[in-house]
Amino acid sequence: MTKSNTAPFDDSQRETLRAIAAAMIPASEESQLPGADDPTIFDDILASTGRDTKALADALTMLHSTVSGDLSALRSAGPGTVLERFRSENGATAAIFELAISQCYYRDDRVMRAIGMEPRAPYPKGYAIERGDWSLLDPVRARGKIYRDAGEGKTA
């Protein structure tokens, strides 16, 4: 069973989501980046909607109906488009799409390499951070105490 077969979207919802994914994060030849509708990434999206599945399904049905099934109307998100209007009128729902699509797009190996990340989980290798130069604090030390005394001694 592929991941996409496990997703609880019907065909029209799935194709609507694919159109939105492509409109949100399109492929870039210049950056050699896939789009969010890339088959591998899109399968991951379909399998990962989790707690947001119902909200997405409802919104997809509404959008599919808005364009009367003509998905070409969802392939652009620029000014004056259906998606631009949808985002401005349904910010919370648009944010659910943004999370559902981004959380899978930006963990794809190709994408992670392209943005300068190693394609791996943070643990167990971790990362390095500069320890820093604590002499930067000399002006703060020189200024001296800044807290207020509150008076009185121990109470109990």
Partner 1 sequence: MTAATNDPVDVLIIGGGASGAAVAWSLADTRMRILCLEQGDWVKTTDFPSTGRDWEARQFGDFSVSPNRRGLPEDYPINEDDSPIKVANFNGVGGGTILYAGHFPRLHPSDFRVRSLDGVAEDWPINYETLEPYYAVNDQITGVAALEGDPSYPPKPAVMPPLPLGETGALLGGAMNKLGWHWWPSDAAINTQIYEDRAACINLGHCLSGCAQGAKATTDGTYWPKAIRARVELRTRCRVRRIETDDDRMATGAYYVDADGVERFQPAAIVILACNGIGTPRLLLNSASEQFPDGLANTSGIVGKNLMFHPYGQVRGYFDQQLDGYRGPRIGAWSMEFYETDASRGFVRGYCYQFTRGLGPVVNAVSGMADGLIPWGEGHHAAFRRLFKGSAGMVSICEDLPEEINRVTLDPTLKDSDGIPAPKITYRLGENSQKMLDHSLARGIEILKTAGAHDITVKAPMPSAGWHLLGTARMGHDPKRSVVNDWGRSHDVRNLFVVDGSVFVTAGGVNPTSTIQAIALYVADQIKSRIHNLFD
Give phi and psi for 107, each to the nearest 5: -115, 5
Residue 47 is encoded by which pair of tokens?
């399998």
Nearer to partner 1, 68 or 123 (CB): 123
* Binding to partner 1 in span 16-45, by CB under 8 A: 23-26, 28, 31, 33
Span from 7-15, 53-61, 63-71, 121-129 in contact with partner 1 (CB under 8 A)? 121-129
Strand partners, 28: 33
Q: Environment class of residue 38 by beta-carbon count within 10 Å: exposed (0-12), middle (13-18) or buried (19+)?
A: buried
Tokens 């003509």 locate to 70
Rounded CA-CA distance 56/100 in Å is 9
Nearer to partner 1, 72 or 155 (CB): 155
Per DSSP, the three-state class of 33 is: strand
Alpha helices in 25-79 (DSSP H): 39-47, 53-66
Q: With binding defined as CB under 8 A, does residue 74 bind partner 1? A: no
Span from 4-12, 53-61, 63-71, 76-84 in contact with partner 1 (CB under 8 A)? 76-84
Nearer to partner 1, 11 or 124 (CB): 124
Name the site residues for partner 1 (rule: CB under 8 A): 23-26, 28, 31, 33, 48, 50-51, 76-78, 83, 87, 95, 98-99, 102-107, 111-112, 115-117, 119-134, 136-137, 139-141, 143-156
